[in-house]
Structure 1
Amino acid sequence: MKASKSLPATMKIVTNCGPIAISLLNKQAPLTVTKMTALARAKYFNNSLCHRLTTDGIFVLQCGDPLATGLGSPTGWKGYKDENLPADRDKNYPAGTVAMANSGPGTNGSQFFLVYKDTKLPPNYTIWGTITTGLDLLIKLYEVGAYEINSSDGKAYYASDGHPIQNIEIRSITLR
């Protein structure tokens, strides 16, 4: 798929917790913005839960998997190339960054993460947007925390990397 010549400038994610507005980086990440806006137009993300919240060292909310397992991706997609990778290894994913989650080079799909506090990661994740509204919402989710289910006793425990305690559901996405 080639990058579209006419891409929207903004994406508004409407959630059950409030809106998150994103300024899209069309010039820096045209292929990624094209793919993500195509999924948004197809309502791929509608009524899906953001499935992962990290709260220690890495500060992100991960969304984009309609199964909410971390394993989902659009049927038939084999991934696509990385673009707009950060050059600075120390300050590479500042608060407000929107980037693709992946499992290695060229494996971008539908999952993305929203950075709510400055985070240092390997420079392997395509940056395709900047949060303009809603960072305060993400901070509130961080303050509530995350949980994991213990496999030995089936109970939920606080975790620094797990499901958000406060469910956050993407209800719809609008593009402008």
Structure 2
Amino acid sequence: MRVPSSKTRQRKLARAKYDRQMARKAASARRKRRLQAGIGSALALLLIVFGTVWLLGGFDSDPKTPEAADLCSWTPQDGSANTNLKDVGTPPTKDLPNTGTRPMTITTNQGAPVTVTLDVASAPCSSASFAYLAGKGFFDNTKCHELTAEGALRCGDPSGTGQGGATYSFFNENVPAAPEPSPSASPAPAQAPLYPKGTVALISNAATGGGNGSQFLIFFKDFTTSSPTYPIIGTVTAGLDVVEKIGALGAVDNGSGEKIKPAQDVIIQSLTVGEAATPAPSASVPATPTAPTASPSPTTGQS
């Protein structure tokens, strides 16, 4: 048997060592590729998550909230075309009270203040307009210029002409429904007046296209009609006697041949509107039955 030479053995050992080194390098390369693939996958997943959160606004310093819808709309009026109009801007259109009531106080030169409860729930834009104009001092030191044929005191026009107001108008709210006609030839039964005395309502201004503005009526008599047009905005809760007294004095010529001017000047010294009051929800509490109390037994007197 031929024994391999020492050189042959050395070559085999060197070859085996080389093969082991190559195997280790291949294994190391596979581990590196697996590590790189794992890191790449993790980075890709992280980028997807980051992108999703970013698109949804998760990193915004000031998260966007849905914008409130307009509750009221104000139609601009041209003050240059009608110099009787007074420009004080326009009220806000969003985030306005639309429930409950608001107190309004009208102080005149005719006696005690007239207190009104504005019906915010039924006429939110009218209430918002009055609160805005009152905050601007719009009504202060203005005259109530007319006693109407319907039995109301007309106020709210700084020009005192019936053609003035603010430089915006707005739509009707809370106009009462017309009474139903009687189905037979017999007279219809008596109905409650559509505008009972103490009612506060708006009156449209023809100079502003017939829209509602700053002018209003305080009824000192009951009034009803088959074609109601005045939007009701509130009710007098105190001081109605002051308005009744003004109405009882009658009207005089306003200088144009019409007897509509109050016999005595009625000057609104100030008009203020308070904060809205939301009624608390009424919780019906069941009555708790109480046990009947025993009547005390009569005592017998001793002789």
TM-score, length of structure 1 as denominator length: 0.85
CA contact (8 A) 1:51 1:62 kept: yes
Matched to 2:147, the amino acid is L
CA contact (8 A) 1:21 1:131 kept: yes
Larger mean CA deviation between 116-125 and 87-96 belongs to 87-96
74, 78, 81: which one aligns with 2:166? 74
CA displacement 1:26-70 (0-9 Å, x = unmatched): 00000111011111111000000000013x5x1000000001100
Distance 1:23 1:131, change over 3 A: same
1:108 aligned residue: 212
138, 151, 176: which one aligns with 2:243? 138
Matched to 1:92, the amino acid is L
Task: Indicate whether 1:14 and 2:107 are aligned.
Answer: yes
Distance 1:86 1:148, change over 3 A: same
The CA distance in 2 between the partners of 1:24 and 1:69, in whole Å, is 25
| Structure 1: 4+ residue segments shifted above 3 A | 103-106
Larger mean CA deviation between 107-116 and 81-90 belongs to 81-90
Residues 11-160 of structure 1: matches in 2 within 5 Å?
A: 11-18=104-111, 19-54=113-148, 56=149, 58-75=150-167, 77=168, 79-89=169-179, 91-103=193-205, 107-121=211-225, 122-149=227-254, 159=259
Larger fraction in strand: 1
TM-score, length of structure 2 as denominator length: 0.51
Cα deviation, residue 138, structure 1: 1.1
RMSD across aligned positions (CA): 2.2
The CA distance in 2 between the partners of 1:132 and 1:9, in whole Å, is 12
CA displacement 1:100-153 (0-9 Å, x = unmatched): 0114796001100000110124321110010011111111111211011565xx
Cα deviation, residue 8, structure 1: 6.2
2:273 aligned residue: 175
CA contact (8 A) 1:80 1:106 kept: no
The CA distance in 1 between the partners of 2:152 and 2:240, in whole Å, is 11
Higher alpha-carbon Rg: 2
Larger fraction in helix: 2
Question: 3-state SS of the aligned residue for 2:165?
Answer: coil
Question: 3-state SS of the aligned residue for 1:67?
Answer: coil
Q: Which has the higher contact order (CA 8 A, sep 6+)?
A: 1
The CA distance in 2 between the partners of 1:85 and 1:8, in whole Å, is 17
CA displacement 1:79-108 (0-9 Å, x = unmatched): 211010112536211101000011479600
CA contact (8 A) 2:103 2:115 kept: yes
Q: Percent identity?
A: 38
The CA distance in 2 between the partners of 1:142 and 1:74, in whole Å, is 26
